[in-house]
Structure 1
Amino acid sequence: MRRLLAIEFFKLKQSRSAKILSIIYFVLFLFTALFATINFDFGSINFRIADQGIFNFPYIWHLNTYMVSIIKILLAIVIISMITNEYSNRTLKQNLIDGLSKKEFILSKFYTLVAFALASTLLVFLVSLVLGLIFSDYTEIGIIFSELEYILAYFIKLVSFFSLCMFLAVLVRKSAFTLGFVFLIYLAESILGGIFRFQAEELLFIADYFPLNSMSNLIVEPLTRLNIVKTATSQINPDFVKDYKVHFTTLVIPVVWTFIFVWGSLNLLKKRDL
């Protein structure tokens, strides 16, 4: 594993675009997390989002993992470029000639995307912990470290999404087309989900097994969980009920998809004449 990761990170060091996108990702990451701490002054009104309870434990684990996962596409572009460049620069064929097996090639990419997901997850955890310790109204140990399942869900969400991008990159071998395929899958899932919802509601559960939809289900939107939003929502719709928990089944489905994508990537590479 160490040897394969060393090879991949050496390649990434030579890629200027990978460096720029990675830096942009982590800068946006920090900006997304710290934006709420800024004071906004409007004449006599002084307003700070952090004072509205969004950084309270354990809610902060839910909010930050949801918000930061929105910009995961930037790291996905790095991973897609990392793979498609192997074809355009013909380094894949050279690596195989030099003794790297096709299995090792796919594993090297998978280990790298896991490393990216792990780094992002660790950063989410640390930033959320620091912000929570500063702004949360609840600082008891039991409350601070409750609902950490959102951190696990965030990690699984990134690994699964990056694995899908890896599979599509191996399949189409062009960065732009790969991103296009990701969008088409999202569009197809949305259309099918809409058809099930309005035409065949008894089949709606099938949509939960779609790849992107299953990843999205890992961390549902947290905004309606805020007390101020919950109060307003209950007045408009008293029957509004939403499940915000991370369930075991919602964790398992993206993990299964991850194995399918890695297995599919390897089999595509084995069957393809390079």
Structure 2
Amino acid sequence: MIRLLQIEFIKLWNNRASKVLILAYFFLLTTIALAAAIKFDFGPFQFHLAEQGIFNFPYIWHFNTFITAFFKLFLAIVIVSMMANEYSNKTIKQNLIDGLSKKEFILSKFLTVLTFSLISTLFVFVVSLILGLAYSDFTEFSIIFSDLEFILAYFVKLMGFFSFCLFLGVLIKRSAFALGFLILWQIIELFIRGIIRWQLFDGKTTDIIMGFFPLSSMSNLIKEPFSRFKVVQSAAAELGQKLELNYHVHWYELLIVVCWTAIFIYLSYVLLKKRDL
């Protein structure tokens, strides 16, 4: 397995575009730390982001994983391009000639997906831990390490999304078209949601049904954290509303994404196995 990973990372590191995107991705993840130091001064009005409680334990695990998940598109481009380059540079054929089986080839790609997901998760965990220790009002051990299910959900979310990107790369072969299909699939899921909600079921039932779709199931893992802000809760209370949302990560939501991950990897292997390269 280490040999397979070495082969993949040599390919990625020798590709300038992939190298730039990977470095840009991790740089953007560190911008969360830079955001903590931002202070806005508008005359008598001063605003310091870190003082708004977003880096308090355990809320920081929820907030940071939700925000950093938006940056995953950078690595999605790398993964899709990784497969497109295999076809355009004919390295896939050369790897098979050199003795790599199609199963090992897909395994090497999946190991790359797992590595990206794991490193990203560890990076977000460390950055969040440092920010929390620096700015959180609560530093008790039990509070610091509560709600860590958001870190697990972040890892599973990345793994599922990158596996989907890998499948699209194998299916379509061209990175631009694969990324275009990714966007199109998001629109398709939104369209299906609208049809189901409009013609068939109420909002709750629609959410349950859409929870089985690939991108929707990944999105469900980490719900929006902004309504947990005290200022939002206070504003809602003043309007006579009480926000009672379920922010927890549920085991069945994790299971759905893990199942989609397995499906995408298996389909990638089936496609590759049937193709005459």
One-letter code aligned to 1:93: K
Q: CA deviation at 1:239?
A: 4.4
Q: Contact (CA 8 Å) 1:56, 1:136: kept in 2 or not? A: yes
Match of 2:3 in 1: 3
Match of 1:208 in 2: 211
Q: Contact (CA 8 Å) 1:224, 1:233: kept in 2 or not? A: no
Q: What is the distance in 2 between the residues matched to 1:127 and 1:90?
A: 39
Match of 2:228 in 1: 225
CA deviations on 1:144-189 (whole Å, 9 max, x unpaired) are 0000000000000000000000001000000001001111110010
Q: What is the distance in 1 between the residues matched to 2:276 and 2:84?
A: 16
Q: CA deviation at 1:80?
A: 0.8
Q: CA deviation at 1:229?
A: 1.0
One-letter code aligned to 1:49: L
Match of 2:64 in 1: 64
Q: What is the distance in 1 between the residues matched to 2:171 and 2:236?
A: 45
2:264 pairs with 1:261:
yes
Runs of 4+, deviation exceeding 6 Å = none
Q: What is the distance in 2 between the residues matched to 1:142 and 1:32?
A: 24
One-letter code aligned to 1:221: E
Q: What is the distance in 2 between the residues matched to 1:157 and 1:69?
A: 8
Q: Contact (CA 8 Å) 2:163, 2:261: kept in 1 or not? A: yes
Match of 1:250 in 2: 253
Relative to structure 1, the CA distance from residue 79 to residue 137 in structure 2 (aligned partners, 3 Å threshold; closer, same or farther) is same
Relative to structure 1, the CA distance from residue 233 to residue 105 in structure 2 (aligned partners, 3 Å threshold; closer, same or farther) is same
Q: Count how many residue pairs are aligned between Structure 1 and Structure 2.
A: 274
Q: What is the distance in 1 between the residues matched to 2:73 and 2:18?
A: 13
Q: CA deviation at 1:17?
A: 0.3
Match of 1:188 in 2: 188
Specify the SS of the correspondent of 2:54: coil
Q: What is the distance in 2 between the residues matched to 1:236 and 1:225?
A: 16
Specify the SS of the correspondent of 2:57: coil
Q: CA deviation at 1:37?
A: 2.4
Specify the SS of the correspondent of 1:201: coil
Matched-pair identity in %: 56
Match of 1:24 in 2: 24
Q: CA deviation at 1:221?
A: 0.4
Match of 2:162 in 1: 162
TM-score where L is the length of structure 2: 0.96
Unaligned runs of 5+ in 2: none
One-letter code aligned to 2:268: S
TM-score where L is the length of structure 1: 0.97
Specify the SS of the correspondent of 2:211: helix
Unaligned runs of 5+ in 1: none
Q: Contact (CA 8 Å) 1:149, 1:246: kept in 2 or not? A: yes
One-letter code aligned to 2:190: S
Specify the SS of the correspondent of 1:41: strand
RMSD: 1.1
CA deviations on 1:233-261 (whole Å, 9 max, x unpaired) are 23335143211000111111000000000
Q: What is the distance in 2 between the residues matched to 1:94 and 1:54?
A: 50
Q: Contact (CA 8 Å) 2:227, 2:243: kept in 1 or not? A: no
One-letter code aligned to 2:31: F
